[in-house]
């Protein structure tokens, strides 16, 4: 029997599928300091992680029987992929499974931002019973998303899912991508009808200058922020930024300064430079909508992620 350690958890449906195909799945989480010892002691040939666990060179060196490292999600920043592959370890992920969930979280932040829900949800419990009229006045300058321009930086699977939802709301879409010159975005309606829109990507400066909101869907490269002070300076005054992709893509210091100076009006963050210990200054800022890295954390996405990982594992060992 082949043993699998799902160190950051895996869906019940995936466990059931793997068990039926002769695999044993262990879901007890092991700290990174003890991970190599646990892998060797229990003869785990497969280790599955999400964003919480890092699989670096030192662990790979200590685990000669490891055959697969799986990442439940898209980005594999927490795995030394090239080194693993050089050691004949297959590295797998689930690039399509969580796209819809992340895209919907983008709009959760967008709706919350333009109607100040991030602030009103903090203040209503404290002041709603004695300061209702003033709160109503202070939160009465919301905006509609319809007719606004959404700039999508990174136009892969998730970026295109975001675009679908924006188009459905009547938003204009601007997109930038280093590799995709255009994409066909197909909306499937409740009655079976379909409508396809072709969106051509453009220069990042055009996206920054002409968008009411910017949303990021790119990997992090060389620890460099995609959105820093210079890029924020190009953006429309009063615009907003959403980052559900990778911590560090937005320079958090430049972001807070721009919010304080009202260059931009609001931000929505699901990821942070220093996870799992985000800056307290960022967390306490009154103009930021905050979530704790939950982009792919829906029941539907976790089920798809688990099944996709299970299918890849089964296929590998049945060759």
Return the beta strands (E) in 138-280 as ranges.
149-153, 172-176, 182-188, 194-200, 213-216, 239-243, 264-269
What is the total count of domains within the chain? Answer: 2
Tens of pLDDT along 131-163?
A: 999 999 999 999 999 999 999 999 999 999 999
Residues 250 and 181 in one domain: yes
Tens of pLDDT along 263-278?
A: 999 999 999 999 889 9
Residues 254 and 114 in one domain: yes
Task: Give the pair of three-digit tokens for residue 286.
Answer: 């009154």
Residues 16 and 143 in one domain: no
Residues 114 and 23 in one domain: no
CATH number, domain containing residue 35: 3.40.50.720
Residues 250 and 146 in one domain: yes
Residues 205 and 105 in one domain: yes
Helix, strand or coil, per DSSP, at residue 260: helix
pLDDT attached to residue 51: 83
Residues 150 and 217 in one domain: yes
Residues 265 and 128 in one domain: yes
Distance, in Å, from the CA atom of 248 to the CA atom of 221, rounded to the nearest integer, reads 10
Residues 244 and 309 in one domain: no
State the pTM of this model: 0.89
Please say if the pLDDT value at position 304 is more than 90: yes
Catalytic residues: 246, 275, 293
Q: How confident is the model at residue 96 (pLDDT cuts 50, 70, 90)?
A: confident
Residues 271 and 308 in one domain: no
Tens of pLDDT along 169-181?
A: 999 999 999 999 9
Residues 43 and 127 in one domain: no
Could you tell me the residue range of the domain that residue 75 belongs to?
A: 2-95+299-317
Residues 117 and 230 in one domain: yes
Please, is 290 exposed, middle or buried when counting C-beta atoms within 10 Å of its C-beta (0-12, 13-18, 19+)? Answer: middle
pLDDT attached to residue 224: 85
pLDDT attached to residue 319: 74
Arithmetic mean of pLDDT, 108-117:
97
Helix, strand or coil, per DSSP, at residue 130: coil
């Amino acid at each position: 029997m082949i043993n699998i350690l799902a160190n950051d958890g895996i869906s019940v449906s995936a466990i059931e599928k793997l068990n039926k195909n002769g695999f044993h799945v262990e879901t007890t989480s092991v700290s990174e300091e003890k991970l190599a010892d646990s892998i060797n002691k229990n003869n785990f040939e497969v280790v599955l992680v999400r964003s919480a666990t890092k699989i670096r060179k030192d662990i790979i060196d200590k685990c000669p029987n490891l055959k697969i490292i799986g990442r439940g999600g898209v980005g594999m920043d927490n795995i030394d992929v090239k080194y693993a592959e050089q050691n004949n370890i297959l590295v797998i992920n689930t690039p399509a499974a969580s796209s819809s969930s992340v895209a919907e979280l983008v709009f959760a932040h967008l709706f919350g931002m333009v109607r100040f829900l991030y602030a009103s949800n903090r203040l209503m419990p404290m002041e709603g019973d004695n300061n209702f009229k003033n709160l109503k006045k202070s939160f009465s300058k919301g905006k509609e998303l319809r007719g606004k321009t959404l700039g999508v930086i990174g136009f892969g699977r998730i970026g295109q899912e975001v675009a679908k939802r924006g188009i459905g709301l009547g938003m204009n879409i601007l997109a930038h991508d280093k590799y995709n010159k255009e994409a066909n975005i197909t909306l499937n309606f409740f009655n079976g009808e379909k409508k396809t829109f072709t969106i051509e990507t453009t220069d990042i400066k055009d996206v920054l200058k002409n968008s009411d909101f910017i949303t990021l869907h790119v990997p992090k490269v060389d620890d460099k922020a995609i959105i820093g002070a210079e890029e924020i300076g190009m953006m429309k005054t009063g615009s907003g930024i959403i980052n559900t992709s990778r911590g560090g893509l937005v320079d958090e210091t430049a972001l807070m300064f721009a919010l304080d100076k009202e260059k931009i009006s609001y931000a929505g963050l699901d990821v942070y430079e220093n996870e799992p210990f985000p800056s307290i200054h960022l967390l306490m800022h009154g103009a930021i909508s905050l979530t704790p890295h939950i982009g792919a954390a829906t029941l539907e996405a976790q089920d798809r992620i688990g099944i996709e990982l299970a299918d890849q594992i089964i296929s590998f060992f049945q060759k």
